[in-house]
Structure 1
């Protein structure tokens, strides 16, 4: 398993009039976690796109347990539990300190610029094999 931690502070624009984070704002935070994890593994999303790979979301799920509020300092924990093949499945936790607020997941397909499913780059596959062997 590979895990990444990303810190964010809730901005006023991400909340409603009660100061509670709007539910749709968690998905961009998942994206921040995902792109951070890939970058930490040596595969910035920008580089994947430059090589002709894209990772559209094909499935998403979110479970809200407690609200985040304006100015909260949050940690987005992103986990990759299985090596990617044609798809990559990531799991997320949003925490305020030790308190679990939200869990979720996204599943992405590897596609080329024509929208056709493809295998991930050989370098990514090799790096994931290496990283998973260490865990």
Structure 2
């Protein structure tokens, strides 16, 4: 499957006193992008919850290369990096229109049961949506 891209226009309130996007907003963007990534692959968040599953972020590693400012248009690229038994990694890149990567990240998610009973093996409906690993970060 091709890498998914989620468009973002930097909003005024996302920019800090240095004139660039405040670092916490990247995790919020990645969270939005995950939902859209899965939905583009025919797994809505609601259907995952209705099937009894949710995903929980357990680790994120982010590397910034350059800042982006108010009003800039970027794309959040998302790709499956790894599939484990109960967890998976997604790679993210924040890309300018010219393809320049301003930030990259790898985030680990664990599949959990919505009833609070703990982690679960990755079910087929989530595995199908994630697809074969094709990491952005090498």
Normalised by the length of structure 2, the TM-score is 0.84
Q: Is the 1:83–1:128 contact (alpha carbons within 8 Å) kept by the matching residues of 2?
A: no
- Deviation for aligned residue 1:123: 3.0
Q: Which has the higher helix share?
A: 1
Residue 120 (1) aligns with residue 122 (2):
yes
19-28 or 110-119, which deviates more: 110-119
Q: State how many pairs are aligned.
A: 131
Q: Equivalent residue for 2:25?
A: 25
Q: Secondary structure at the match of 2:85?
A: coil
Q: Equivalent residue for 2:94?
A: 94
Q: Equivalent residue for 1:47?
A: 47
Normalised by the length of structure 1, the TM-score is 0.86
* 5+ residue gaps, structure 1: none
- Deviation for aligned residue 1:99: 1.6
- Deviation for aligned residue 1:86: 1.0
| Root mean square deviation of aligned Cα | 2.1
Distance in 1, matches of 2:63 and 2:39, equals: 26
Q: Is the 2:93–2:105 contact (alpha carbons within 8 Å) kept by the matching residues of 1?
A: yes
Distance in 1, matches of 2:100 and 2:28, equals: 20
Q: Secondary structure at the match of 2:82?
A: coil
Q: Equivalent residue for 1:65?
A: 65
* 5+ residue gaps, structure 2: 133-138
Distance in 2, matches of 1:34 and 1:72, equals: 21
Distance in 2, matches of 1:45 and 1:24, equals: 23
- Deviation for aligned residue 1:100: 1.2
Q: Equivalent residue for 1:36?
A: 36
CA offsets 1:56-100 (integer angstroms, 9 cap, x no match): 111101001100100000010001133453112100000112221
Distance in 1, matches of 2:85 and 2:75, equals: 28
Does the C-alpha gap of structure 1 residues 2 and 83 become closer, same or farther in structure 2, counting only changes over 3 Å? farther
